[in-house]
Chains A and B, each alone.
Chain A
Amino acid sequence: MQTLTYRFPARKAATRPIHVGVVASGDLEILLEPLAPGDDDGVVVRVRTSVNGFDTVWHDVLERFFTRTPLAGRWELNDFGATPGVVNLRLRQASEAAAS
């Protein structure tokens, strides 16, 4: 297992906690929480993944997503071997739930 942390700039902020997904084979869960007082602005992502050595892929997938969807908050991704496509879908699901 590997724990990775990334930061990205963001414009708008999540206002309520969102939870999607399951830590199942080929899937991941995402917890999104509004920034707490004292947090730096922007997106803070912590990824815990069962598959080691994909730091660059994670960075690229997340950077692409948060460039298009600059939603500030604390993002936690608990991953059990999801492909970039699945990661992207779960991120979209979380951001859409935050907007609704």
Chain B
Amino acid sequence: MTELLAGQSWQELLARHSFIELDALGRAGALLDPGSLRVLAGPFDRLESPWLEPQGITPQADDGTVVARGTVDGRPVVVAAIEQGFLGGGTGEVSGAKISQALLLAAADSRAGSPTAAVILFETGGVRLQEANLGLNAVAEICSAVLDLRSNAPVIGVVAGTVGSFGGMSIAAGLCTRLIVTPQARIGLNGPAVIEQEGGIDEFDSRDHTLIWAVDGGGQRHATGLADSLVPDDSNLLRTAVIDAIDAGVPEPGRHRSERLDVLASRLAVYDPADAPSPGDLPALWGGSYEPVPASTQPTVVQASDPPTTRGRTWMLELSGSAPVESIIPSVLSATTADARYLAVVPDPDNRFYRAREGQVGLTESLALAQAVRDLITADEGAEHKRAIVAVVDLPSQAYGRYEEMAGLHQAMAATTDAYHAARVAGHPVVAVVVGKALSGGFLTHGMQANQILALDDPGVEIHAMHQAAAARITLRTVDELNELAKTIIPMSYDVEDWAKLGFCDGLLTVGSTDDPTREDVETVGAAIEDAVRRARGGPRDLSNRLDSDAAVSTRAASRRVRDVLAQQWNTAS
């Protein structure tokens, strides 16, 4: 129990005003200067989710996220507070759009000379599985918006508990300028129940609370430099920590945690699941500040002599033409032509991270992708014509493993997300081509920051927020029930033709064979990529096209309404 005190005495604990016990609105109010809170897009704006009532789930009038403007110590701030009681804080179409649009408005103000910081209160199980693919995209848009604001004004993440931060939203947490946690907080990419479902109880026992907090807990994240401040559950102390974090301002470019590939590389070099430290030993191994581990050498990697043939590898080899395909690591392929760099994550049966052997995006894959993208940005710096980046996507998911979580998979994936965003903003056309599976955090990391997303129209192409069995377990439904719902609730569908109606598909491509493409197939896809690159060069460098596409106008009407309402109310009370 003493660790919950986080330096407080029992007397102070008893006299405190608990932050965790407050609802989302109460939390926003506790951080802002007294009397300064103004709720935007509130309950009477009736921006509830359009997807829940048809599934027999009671909606909440503000979709479980409070957006409020106000001041913190006199400085303009926008707070986005997720209500953990409503559907586990899951990110849906509307709640997600509220967060990303608020961040974009703050970014616009900040660029125009009135810096507006953001505070995000993460209490979320991740993507709201009842709105699966729209939630997944909402998370990608939030990540992009955090990065759009972060260079102009601080984005402060607070994870107080008790839900904590899981799923793709933890990537957004990993992108924050500074992160404040309590001992009750947890931060992870994959939640314990999902890892147990995917990897078995030996991989992670989701009933073992001691283990969960040892791996994901706020104290551990702070002790390993993945969070900046550890504060007891006390509203006044959390407010003070937020004031300090905003005062610290915007770090120098390259100094954000998600930009520190040097630290990530040095940490992973001394971290091996075959000889893994216990969670308690990790702070000593890595240190508590986010700085490179001294004297680390990269482990030698053995290339499998006969790597398995997969769609990802096949299309990677075909699309990159005569350019040599090199393995950055055996599970990440790169090929660079005169116009583009192609990147793919592929299976590596000998991967030392055994939960990432089937082509999942794990720790080392995230790092390798981030390095490859950053290298191209550096190589083309100052060039008028920036080369394109083509993400060839065929990945079963991110890696579901306890050693991945212990190391902070969310932070590694934040590094990749940051790199892809940086490339897009710098003017590199980024195109994702989904040739196989594109699931969950894996796709968020490798694909969803693209300007343009293409997919093959094939039953083997599957884009979704979570594997069906795990999604059924988390939402307390059967797989049959999920299939039935997916017929009418299109963001839940596993069918790529339904995915293409959501507003962020820039081309659904028909080929003769997805597994064994003919020359004609390769030419079809190659031409579609060229078109996408051209559109990306002429289009916006942010993700606004995902709200302005023809499909978005009908399917994402609720997101568009959020954008309009927030813009209307941003400067004036409704």
Contact = CB atoms under 8 A, between A and B. Distances in A.
B22 to A, nearest CB: 11
Contacts of B57: 1, 50
Contacts of A48: 53, 58-59
B171 to A, nearest CB: 26
Given A19-B42, A23-B64, A29-B43, A78 B58 contact: yes
A80 B44 contact: no
B205 interface: no
Contacts of A27: 85
B85 A78 contact: no
A79 B83 CA distance: 15
Given A19-B42, A22-B23, A31 B86 contact: no
A23 B62 CA distance: 10
B44 A33 contact: yes
A1 B53 contact: yes
Interface in B17-47: 23-24, 42-44
B6 to A, nearest CB: 26
A95 to B, nearest CB: 17
Given A1-B53, A1-B57, A49-B58, A22 B85 contact: yes
Contacts of A99: none
Contact of B58 (A17, A19, A23, A31): A23
B58 A24 contact: no
Nearest to B56: A1
B56 A29 contact: no
A100 interface: no
B61 A31 contact: yes
A25 B23 CA distance: 13
B61 A19 contact: yes
Interface string B43-69: 110000000010011111100100000
Nearest to A17: B44
Interface residues of A, number: 18
Nearest to A48: B58
Nearest to B85: A24
A51 B56 CA distance: 10
Contact of B59 (A19, A23, A25): A23
Nearest to A81: B58
Contacts of B58: 1, 23, 48-50, 78-80
A1 B59 CA distance: 10
Interface string B66-86: 000000000000000001011
- Main SS class of interface, B: loop
Interface in A30-48: 31, 33, 48
Contact of A19 (B44, B53, B83, B85): B44
Nearest to B46: A31
Contact of A25 (B43, B56, B64, B85): B85
Nearest to B44: A17
A24 B44 contact: no
A80 B83 CA distance: 14
A24 B53 CA distance: 15
Contact of B86 (A17, A19, A23, A76): A23
Nearest to A47: B58
The CB with the most chain A CB atoms within 10 A, among B44, B60, B64, B83, is that of B60
A7 B459 CA distance: 51
B45 to A, nearest CB: 11
Contacts of A49: 58
A78 B43 CA distance: 12
Contacts of A80: 58
A41 to B, nearest CB: 22
Contacts of B24: 22
B44 A78 contact: no
A22 B43 CA distance: 11
Interface in A54-98: 76, 78-80
A80 B57 CA distance: 9
The CB with the most chain A CB atoms within 10 A, among B43, B56, B59, is that of B43
Nearest to B39: A19
Given A48-B58, A78-B59, A79-B58, A23 B85 contact: yes
16 contacts: A1-B58, A19-B42, A22-B24, A22-B60, A23-B59, A23-B60, A24-B85, A24-B86, A29-B60, A33-B44, A48-B53, A48-B58, A50-B56, A50-B57, A50-B58, A80-B58
